[in-house]
Structure 1
């Protein structure tokens, strides 16, 4: 077996990399932005490598990747399954593996605290791959921060050349991050990217799509041919701001992106249907009364008159903002998130915890986004 040093030129979808005591840790926010993060929620989410993959050319038929994952568990609930590594050959999902061991971040939902229990590294092994020269991608588990330690193959490896595809930069919440998806290429942005023939840079951050200025500056500075921003659910379920602050925050976020991407197609997407938050403000609270984790909104719908946000309030305001800005910005577009997942979809594929779709829901959202965004004449349609 040949050992190849894991360097940044082998990675796609990462914004930054950090050298650790074990190896290389991909990040989805740059170091300067990470120093401005105000909470542990986003600090963990941005280090979870959703959309991050190793990409190389090789004739190898056996590939081994040593990693140190940090897994997430919830006190009082069964341990989750190990994160999945997807290996693609020439763009097709060919093999999957998991890594046992690793660190465990134990979360107490009742208190909001977490403890880190350290564990050993492990190996994702992919034997019996197709012979011949090929492009290989290894997509990392989308919810496990993953330190990359060693790459071994039975033939030489070289970084994959530029694909020539357009780069799609997307920002959103836990659904864009991939919550409840079964594997990393099964998250809806990855599915839509594959169907749309583009290269994904995914800035979906679980619980943290909050119009943070450092996220907008990161997007401004990241090369991209297509940009989308999904806005709504986290602002409601955290009860983070009122209508008075929301409107200028949206303008400021878009202004900052436009500083770096003045004419790039920019698609603003509102939240998918989420019945518990359509007309009820947050904050959202976990509910274990049924024996499984579900969420419920705790706000008072009457408080909408005082400026508290709900999903319907945000959708109405976003549509107005984009309509007004588009008069001077013809490459700015709006998509109602209920066109991705609406009432008919909820009836067929209900949200298991009332907030996040299941794997079939991710497929539905990915398919609908492909039709809405990548079809000829759509905002991201080919020229």
Structure 2
């Protein structure tokens, strides 16, 4: 993590809410280091480079994926269970907002086999197919693979071809390669003086492109010792979205399910947590600045106890108004065909009937989804 000085500067300068980190090299027992980068404002979630082989004493495999998340969003974060040490995910379940699934990716480098790369891409495809039906999915990180866009063309290789198939089927786009992207196109320049390439990406579906703005790849920075450049963007939540932070009005709090709280004894837990958190706050000397700080600490202690002990009311998991009955039927067919394909060996062979049926069902589903979305936008 030699890039920490640049990371801290980047976080503070750009007021970042969530940042995905690829290839941090930390072992699982060292992941608490993420919480020390900016302990006041950010908390870390992620997987160690040794996530699938903790028992090894000597370990020199480069890897590891993680997130740093603003503590104002911490109450709404859930970690996703993804069976890969190269793919990590979190769910942002913000009240009154369709769910957001952020996936941090570090695909195998060209020094590793295509078979390993292909295996991880298959896992990524499965992850996307699962969560894209429940909300907005954002894939971000080091894909170790070039992706074409309006600002970037190249001669396709085997890896790029593999990812292109996935992106075409799911109508995905790399943000900084679109025409509204600002700054350099190429995000990677090896220390050995090799060619510049665009292998780092933030990828979203074409229907979500309009939600993203201020897409930029910053140019060289004296603190950036990595051979990769970061990509930043802004993501628009729904207009009525509020979440609690230290500067928010208290009326923006989540709603508590008091029935559940009484049933599971959470009231007593809340009372104990409040007393514990308030006990840790020291009384300041009486100055206007200290009083404001004291007040803020008391409020945050109460909110923290609330978030950690009291159950919240459930919100709608996802909201896709164009998701018609026909789309739902095609989606069900696709899932059944996929299950059949998996149960019969999960062969990636066009001559295999189960694979062919699954791909056909998936294509039909995508066509119906696009048609429904187009009809919805026309009416709207």
TM-score above 0.5, yes or no: no
Tell me which protein shows more strand as a share of its residues: 1
Bigger relative contact order, structure 1 or 2 (CA pairs below 8 A, ≥6 apart): 1
TM-score, normalising length: structure 1? 0.28
Tell me which protein shows more helix as a share of its residues: 2
